[in-house]
Amino acid sequence: MTQTNSSTFLEDLDGDTLHEECGVFGILGHPDAATLTALGLHALQHRGQEAAGIVSFDGKQFHTEKHMGLVGDHYTNPVTLAKLPGSASIGHTRYSTTGEVALRNVQPLFAELEEGGIAIAHNGNFTNGLTLRRQIIATGAICQSTSDTEVVLHLIARSRHSSTADRFIDAIRQMEGGYSMLAMTRTKLIAARDPIGIRPLVMGELDGKPIFCSETCALDIIGAKYIRDVENGEVIICEIQPDGSITVDSRRPARPQPERPCLFEYVYFARPDSVVSGRNVYQTRKNMGANLALEAPCEGDVVVPVPDGGTPAALGYAQASGIPFEYGIIRNHYVGRTFIEPTQQIRAFGVKLKHSANRAMIEGKRVILVDDSIVRGTTSLKIVQMIRDAGAKEVHIRVASPMIYHPDFYGIDTPDAEKLLANQYAGAEAMAKYIGADSLAFLSIDGLYRAVGGEPRNPENPQFTDHYFTGDYPTRLLDKEGEKAGRKVSVLASHG
C-alpha cells in the first residue's frame, strides 16, 4: 500500500488561508517568569502553531526548551517548566515564512558573546536578511540555521560598541522589513519594533515587572496591566540593577517615520479581543462588515459568517443591513494530525473536515456568506458547494477586505502573485463564477481604512501597510531583488 503523508493532507486543507510568522513574549524580574511566558505564548498560539520555544535565566546560566507543535502540548507539563528556572524569560511561537520547519530554527536563538549570553526572538520578516547573510558568510561567518534571526546575532557579535544594548541597536538598525523583536541578556530585557511599526509589540506590567508581547491578549491571560505600545523604531531596554530594582531606558530614532501598522492584523491575524495600535480588533472587524453592507448591499434572508475570521464582520453586516445573523456554518476546532489515511475518497470530504453546514439555518434561504478575505479561492469554492448542498436557494459572498493582488515579504506567508485568485480572473463577476456563487463583492480599500482608522486612504502618505491590496511596499525588497538575480541560500533538510 502506498503511504501518504497525512500532515500534508491537512496542510492542503489549510493552504487557502494566510499565516503570520510568530508571536513573542518576555518578562524580567518575576519569580514565575517561565510559567508566565508559557501562558502568554498560549494566548499568542494563533500567531504560529508549528513550534514554540522558551529561554530563561536564573542568575547563573541560561536554560532553554524548544519543541515542535503547540504550546499546550509541552509547556503545561510541570517537569518541562521546572527545567526553566529563573526570574527572566522570553518565548516564541512560530509559523515559518523564512527557513524550513526544523527544531534548529525554533526561537529564541541563543549565542555566547564577549559580554555573555544573549537570546533573541522575533516576529515578522527581514527584507534584507538573506542579503546580509551572504555578506557575513563571505567574511567567514558560519550560519547554523536558516532563520534570518541568526543574522542579527552575527551583527551583534561583530558590532564595535561596548555594551550589549548598543550592539543590539547597532545590529537592528541594519535590518530592513517588518518586525518586533525581544532580546534577553543576563541583566536585560530589550524590546524593539521596526521603523514604521508594521508588526505589533506592546509593553505591560505585572507586580511591577516589565513585560513585552505581540498582543494585549497575552497580558490579559496573566492579569497584567497594559502600559503602552512600543513605538515604531523604538528600542526599550529594561535592566535589573544590583539592588534588584529595574530601570527602563527608551531609545527612539533621530528621524522617526510615521507609523504604518499592518492592515492584516485587523483583518485576520490579531485575536479579536486584542487592541492593536489603540484600536479594538473586534470593533474594527464589525466596522468592516458594516461598511461592506453599505458598499455591497444584497437581498438575502440570512447573513452567515465563514468562521472564525468572518464572524465579527458578519455581525456588522447583519446589523447595518437589518438581515438576520445566523451560524449557518459550524467549525470543527479539533482538526489536527489525523489518523485517517487521506485516500481520494477522504480528500473528497475537503472543507467538511473543518466546516459543516447548519442545514436548519440555510435550507431554502438566500444566504449572504461573509468572509474576512479570499486568497486562492479554493476554500470558498468548497464552502459555496457545501451551502448549496444544504439546500440554499442562493449563495452570495461578501468579503470584508479588498482583493489580494500582491505577495507579502514582512512575515505573512502568502502564495506567489500568480496563484492569488484576484490575478487569475478579470473582476469579481468572473471570480464568482469560478467559486460558484451568485454574486461576489469585496470591501474597498477606503472602506477598510474607514473601518480601522476612521478616514479614507491617503495615497500620498498611506496610514497603514497595505501592499497586498495596493502594491505599495513600504520598504526596499533587497532579498527579492537578489532572488531575481539568482542568489539563493542553501537549505539543509532536518528530520529530527
pLDDT at 411: 85
| Active-site residue, from 22, 217, 238, 262 | 22
Taking the C-alpha atoms of residue 52 and residue 46, their distance in angstroms, rounded to an integer, is: 12
Q: What is the pLDDT of residues 414-446, one digit of tens each?
A: 888 999 999 999 999 999 999 999 999 999 999
pLDDT at 13: 43
Q: Is residue 357, in this structure, part of any structural domain at all?
A: yes
Q: Of 208, 224, 259, which residue is a domain's last?
A: 259
Whole-number Å distance between alpha carbons of 335 and 5: 16
Specify the pairing of strand 366-371 against strand 394-399: parallel
**pTM of structure:** 0.89
CA of 153: how far to CAs of 111, 143, 488, in Å? 7, 10, 20
Q: Do residues 294 and 231 share a domain? A: no
Within-domain flag for 270: no
Residue 364 lies in a domain: yes
| 146: phi then psi, degrees, rounded to nearest 5 | -105, 10
- Per-residue pLDDT tens for 4-41? 333 333 344 445 666 556 899 999 999 999 999 999 99
165 lies in some domain: yes
Burial of 338 (0-12, 13-18, 19+ CB in 10 A): middle
Helix (H, G, I), strand (E, B) or coil at 368: strand
Range of the structural domain that residue 204 is part of: 19-259
**Domain final residue pick, 225, 259, 293:** 259
- Cell (9 digits) for 189: 530585557
- Please check whether residue 252 lies inside any domain of the structure: yes
Number of domains into which the chain is organized: 2
CA separation, residue 111 to residues 64, 346, 357, 378, 473 (Å):
12, 46, 51, 43, 33
β-sheet bridge partners, residue 275:
280
109 with 202, same domain: the answer is: yes
Query: Does residue 166 sit in the same domain as residue 285?
Result: no
Nine cell digits for residue 378:
479554493
Within-domain flag for 483:
no
* Domain identity same for 255 and 285: no
Per-residue cell: 468: 497586498
- Is there a single domain that holds both residue 55 and residue 184? yes
**In the prediction, which pLDDT does 479 show?**
86
Q: Residue 5: what pLDDT? A: 39
Give strand pairing partners of 395: 367
State which residues of the chain have pLDDT below 50.
1-14, 97-99, 337-341, 487, 489-496
Instruction: Please state, in angstroms and rounded to a whole number, the distance separating the CA atoms of residues 178 and 450.
Output: 23
Q: Based on the fold, state whether residues 251 and 357 are members of the same structural domain.
A: no
Question: Residue 344, exposed/middle/buried by CB under 10 A (0-12, 13-18, 19+)?
Answer: exposed
- In terms of domains, do 166 and 90 share one? yes
In a shared domain, residues 425 and 380: yes
Q: Is residue 106, in this structure, part of any structural domain at all?
A: yes
Burial category of 403 from C-beta neighbours within 10 Å (exposed 0-12, middle 13-18, buried 19 and up):
buried
Q: How many residues does the chain have?
A: 496
First to last CA, the chain: 26
Do 178 and 246 sit in the same domain of this protein?
yes
The pLDDT, as a whole number, for residue 146 is 74
Indicate which CATH number applies to the domain containing 60.
Answer: 3.60.20.10
- Torsion over CA of 287, 273, 180 and 111, rounded to 10 degrees? -160
275 assigned to some structural domain: no
- Both 204 and 302 in one domain: the answer is no
Q: Is residue 298 flagged as an active site residue?
A: no
